[in-house]
Structure 1
């Protein structure tokens, strides 16, 4: 028997009430208050609940003028709770999932939908749906689109088909690829049907058709190009079935991939019993041109020093892997950017939040390409570029963890060779640069050495020395190496570096009109306190116009480092939340970092910063604080 979310909630309330000492029956009025529906709805729900609990030998008692309660043994009540917990894990829709489904339903409908229709479908009260609609309207405002709300008729999106499909692509991509990394039989089983706006059967069918088409046409697509093409086709099929077609006036009649587009359309038609109009075939062609430029025999990276990418990386820093990875990515992306076709990135928000330094590098690079090609590159594309930068930074971190070591013994032969072999085998971080005799050591330049392992007494110097026997145990050797090379990265150390950037004088509680006003207010405070130079505020606002730094109720704007006098983090607690991109923000962290900061310091700062931003309880405490000193203490872990 199926239970809706409200009925599950009512059972849990009744069971919990039964477990309370000296419990009293609950009236229908009290139950209606708790779940936000009428008493009439409660009585209707009780008929379903009564049938459900009977199978567990539990009785639902309804006594006029007394109330409603549940009667049964603890063992049977536990069976009910176990069954409901399993059902909640599989069927429960959290706020985020439900809002995505409501959004996709509005996007797929050209007619008005009432709040009551949505309330009935998702088993929540009208107020919850109204909050969902407010959230969706906020997202639409950030891209200059709006909702129609007409009393007595309902809600409707007033947008053209192209915009509708672009937004649907983002929503459907998140629904599918936030749940599973790739489409296959096993992964599809993981996704619950009620959390998708497109049926699994259609996803499976179109994935199979597209896979076979790519193999036959000998095309090479990377993961995100394939995912975006798949989602485009899924949405196209759904919209065509509703009789809704794209406008073809935006495209010419190029022959590139036209034949392949007709082949793909025909295969979809035959398998799915659908007819692709001519303009939809051109739409497929557009996406094939954008995603399918590469073939196995023509993937190449022209590595030269006179291009835009090389110039940018000369200033940022790079290795061959970063350069070649970005160059291949950009070469395959240029067609998309020029045609105005965007891929979607279901991991965009996580990338922006967790890899903020890498995303900033990607933002600066994309600005150069936007200027050169007079195009617009969205955050989804930029987030993929950021992954290349983050991988490079991870490689640098790994290299920074290498302990460059020399081994010294009386002759540099014999037992020292055994010691070196053991270290190479057991300690991957330790790189042995040289094995030296005592005389060789006295002449050796140790400026690039992190650690000296010696079997004999050596003169004191600035490099850590550990003394060992040639046959030292692995455990003892491990302990000594750890003690010598462990950097001061304890939690206290992490807190200390981050805490040095927080000062109550750079924290302000104030009401502002909008996000620009928030940056201006906080920026002026930091300028007056000698943290920022004149020009920092305009710089931060320009940066936000490229890509909003807001997520949840937080925003983290920052200015160009050339405007920073002193590395600090300013804080603004906004008395009344303001719209910031797609979010309502009431807490702002202005990041002011000087140029050429050491990467290890940045990593330590951002690690602690991310811990704070992802700690919802701490953020709530900060938002409810009434003084700069209290906010400072909370940020410093006091």
Structure 2
């Protein structure tokens, strides 16, 4: 028998009340206040609950003018609680998941939705839904949008179809690819249906159609291009079923490139899903294929092979052949997207920006050069993918000789697996990555000479030690899993002396500001007064921030150009009231002021410690609640 969450909550209230030494029956009015519904709803719920608990050999008693209570032994009451706990684990949604689903519902609906509708659907009281709406409104505000509210009718999001789909793409990508690194039936089994705004059946069907289409058309898409196209098709099917189409009725440029293939893919979807793709939707598929698609055996163009812009940039940064060729291939496939203004969604963007801050910073300055050359705009999703190439190169630079022969397996053998390969080489000196395999290649692979398998997807059982990780697994988790698999005795660094030398209570300040620009100016002025920064650093940091916001969660990390730095330090601004910074509400600002002579090894040690701090939510909350500069300094230094 299925219970909704409100009914589960009522059972828990009644059971706990029964276990009190001097309990009294609870009236319907009292219960209605506890779960924020009408007494009529309580009586309806009581009828359902009565039937449910009869199976536990207890009885629900309802006496007029006295109240409602449960009668039965403690042993049987415990059985009820155990059964409820199983239901909670299987069906309850955490706040973040529920809010993503509510956001999806608002994006997918052109009609007003009432708070009560949402309360009933997600089995929580109205106050919880109101808090969800507050969170969603903040997100919309950061996007320059707002909810429409009508008394007696509810709430509604009124935006055009193109914008609606772009936001839906971000939401659906988070739902799918933050949970699992790739989508296939094996991985989808670990995601509950109630945590997805699109049904598993539709996801697997479209995934299968797209996979077959790519093979038949002899196309090559890397992991993130494939994921982006899959999400676009899923949303397109959902919206077309609702009779909602993109607004652009003109065939962009009347191009014939990939038009035939687009019609074939649309027809495959129509036949399998009983939907009709109008012309403008077929052209939109074409646009995505042009942006992402490549035929096999394509070579890098001569023009790109003599890419002076990239070469000159790498001459200053440092590179190896793998970095240069990897970036050339990536930029080759991305240029069409950049020129057409079509962006793919990167579900790992936030993790990449946070964990690989230095590599992302290098990528930001490279993308700035391409923006200037092609008069286009490259977003953070694309920039984060560029950062992976730089991070992989940095990891290769750190690596030593290895003796544990390792194969890496992911869905395609492309994209993020390259970063993972470089990272594991560094984390354990005994590890040597000898093969990177797609799932299909793995099924045919002779693992006789392999000691360890590291996979981002579920694999059939084998005789070799196998560990499963996300493509952006944390360094600590990666170390722990490999340590267990190969029984190594290497331990992570615990010496934070270098990082601590960059923190001083003299460079920590509390303030009220209205904008992120003001935050940089206030903190930059403090660092200038303390002779950490030179004149010009503040405007340089603001200019850098305009390229790509450094904010995530409730933190921001603006940078000073090394030429404006007298002494390497990290300044801290604790805001008394959070401010809008990009698409985040920020409460703590870390101003990164590093001189150009810091060695890569030192940067690695600094950022490793910095990441530990930034990922410690409890520590950040303590910093936010503390107004004393010395105390904040001690918290950052782990004292």
Q: TM-score, with normalisation over the residues of structure 2? A: 0.81
Structure 1 residues 43 and 572 mapped into 2: Cα distance closer, same or farther (>3 Å)? farther
Distance 1:210 1:115 in 2: 38
Give deviations 1:491-550, integer Å, cap 9, x for gaps: 2x22x2222222112111222112222222212112111122222222222222222222
Alignment partners' CA distance in 2, 1:254 and 1:94: 46
User: Compared with structure 1, are the counterparts of its residues 192 and 626 closer, same or farther at alpha carbon in structure 2 (3 Å cutoff)?
Assistant: same
Q: Counterpart in 2 of 1:569?
A: 570
**Post-superposition shift, 1:315?**
1.4
Comparing 344-353 with 543-552, greater Cα deviation is found at: 543-552
SS at match of 2:56: coil
Is 1:100 paired with 2:117?
no
Displacement of 1:272 in angstroms is: 1.4
Distance 1:527 1:206, change over 3 A: same
Cα distance in 2, alignment partners of residues 400 and 135 from structure 1: 49
Which residue does the alignment assign to 1:80?
80
| 1:129-528 alignment runs, 5 A limit | 129-246=129-246, 247-249=248-250, 251-292=252-293, 294-300=294-300, 304=305, 306-399=307-400, 428=430, 490-491=493-494, 493-494=495-496, 496-528=497-529
> In 2, Cα distance between the equivalents of 1:582 and 1:64?
54
Supply the RMSD in Å over aligned alpha carbons.
Answer: 2.8
CA distance in 1, matches of 2:638, 2:30: 41
- C-alpha change, 1:125 and 1:268, in structure 2 (3 Å) is same
Q: Which moved more, 1:107-116 or 1:335-344?
A: 107-116
What residue is the counterpart of 1:435 in the other structure?
Answer: none
Deviation at 1:85, TM superposition (A): 3.0
Q: CA deviation at 1:20?
A: 6.2
Kindly name which structure, 1 or 2, has the bigger radius of gyration based on alpha carbons: 1
Q: Using the alignment, how far apart are the partners of 1:258 and 1:559 within structure 2?
A: 47
Runs of 5+ unmatched residues, structure 2 = 404-427, 433-488
Q: Per the alignment, in what secondary structure is the counterpart of residue 570 of structure 1? A: strand
Q: CA 1:8 to 1:386, structure 2 compared with 1: closer, same or farther past 3 Å?
A: farther
Mapped to 2, the partners of 1:68 and 1:290 lie a distance apart of 63
- Compared CA separation, residues 357 and 340, structure 1 to 2 (3 A): same
The 2-side partners of 1:490 and 1:537 are apart by: 34
C-alpha deviation, 1:29, in angstroms: 6.1
2: CA distance between counterparts of 1:616 and 1:598? 29
**Change beyond 3 A, Cα 1:23–1:524:** farther
- Relative distance call for 1:428 and 1:70 in structure 2 (3 A) is same
CA distance in 1, matches of 2:286, 2:588: 45
3-state DSSP of counterpart to 1:252: helix
1:414-471 deviation line (CA, Å, top 9, x unaligned): xxxxxxxxxxxx98499xxxxxxxxxxxxxxxxxxxxxxxxxxxxxxxxxxxxxxxxx
Contact 1:301 1:324 in 2 (8 A): no
> Does 1:622 pair with 2:623?
yes
Consecutive unaligned residues of structure 1, counting only runs of 5 or more, are 403-425, 431-484
Q: Deviations over 1:214-255 (max 9, x none)?
A: 111111111111111111111111111111111133712111
Q: Which residue of 2 aligns with 1:545?
A: 546
Q: Does the 8 Å contact 2:399/2:429 carry over to 1?
A: no
State the distance in 2 between where 1:589 and 1:49 align: 53
Tell me, yes or no, if the aligned pair for 2:515 and 2:579 is still in contact at 8 Å: yes
- The DSSP-based 3-state class of the residue aligned with 1:49 is helix
TM-score (structure 1 length as normaliser): 0.81
User: SS of the counterpart of 2:597?
Assistant: coil
Q: Which residue of 1 aligns with 2:406?
A: none
Do the aligned partners of residues 560 and 212 (structure 1) sit closer, same or farther apart at CA in structure 2, a change above 3 Å counting?
same
Shift of 1:84: 2.9
Secondary structure class of the residue paired with 2:240: helix
Number of residue pairs matched? 557
CA distance in 2, matches of 1:574, 1:271: 54
**Matched position secondary structure for 2:590:** strand
Residues 227 and 616 of structure 1, relative CA distance in 2, 3 Å threshold: same
In 2, the alpha carbon distance for the partners of 1:20 and 1:563 equals 67
Q: CA deviation at 1:69?
A: 5.0
Deviation larger for 324-333 or 120-129: 120-129
Question: CA 1:576–1:28 in 2, change beyond 3 Å: closer, same or farther?
Answer: farther
Structure 1 pair 486–9 and aligned structure 2 pair: CA distance change class (3 A): closer
For residues 75 and 616 of structure 1, do their structure 2 counterparts lie closer, same or farther at Cα, with a shift above 3 Å needed? farther
Report how far residue 564 of structure 1 moved.
Answer: 1.9
Alignment match, 2:596: 595
Q: Distance in 2 between matches of 1:24 and 1:521?
A: 60
